[in-house]
Homo-oligomer: A and B are copies of this chain.
Amino acid sequence: MGLKMTREALARFLEEEFPQVAGDFAIDELDENRIRVRLMTQERHLRPGGTVSGPAMFALADVSLYLAILAMIGPEALAVTTNCSMDFMRKPAAGADLIAECRILKLGRVLAVGDVLLYSEGMEAPVARASLTYSIPPAKG
């Protein structure tokens, strides 16, 4: 299929459409059906003890697949999350950025499915995994 958006265009789209959260995320790498997104961990993402919170991990997994899908289908589409399943496996390292390695497993006409491994930067074993489904509404005529 090929990418419809560059890394720069994706980042600009995120800033314009989601200004509240765009500053939290950076797109480290983008390829067909794959993306690596970084949560630049800040105080508000943390739980006592310095570990990244569950909602912040969810947000990173969710935005990663969203961006991976948009890069493939273009920015006009209004994809929405319909399902997410996550396993929290290890405690994230205190203060480290969180890295999402996301791949699209299916990009259908109405549903897209992807999975994500989340890593604390510098740790080898993943801290969490997620799989998500996005519903893709029909293109506006």
Q: How far is the CA of A131 from the CA of B129 in the complex (A)?
A: 9
CB <8 Å contact, A105 and B86:
no
* Interface assignment of A101: CB less than 8 Å from any CB of chain B: no
Residues of B within 8 A of A126 (CB): 105-106
Given A62-B55, A82-B87, A115-B115, do A131 and B133 touch, yes or no (CB 8 Å)?
no
Q: How far is the CA of A90 from the CA of B107 in the complex (A)?
A: 11
* Interface assignment of A47: CB less than 8 Å from any CB of chain B: yes
Across chains A and B, which 7 residue pairs bring their CB atoms closest together, nearest first?
A: A85-B85, A55-B59, A89-B106, A55-B55, A58-B58, A87-B113, A84-B86
* Interface assignment of A81: CB less than 8 Å from any CB of chain B: yes
Question: CB-CB contacts of A106-128 with B at 8 A, as 1s and 0s?
Answer: 10101101010100000001100
74-112 of chain A: CB within 8 A of chain B:
80-90, 105-106, 108, 110-111
CB <8 Å contact, A44 and B58:
no
Q: How far is the CA of A1 from the CA of B106 in the complex (A)?
A: 33
Residues of B within 8 A of A81 (CB): 54, 88
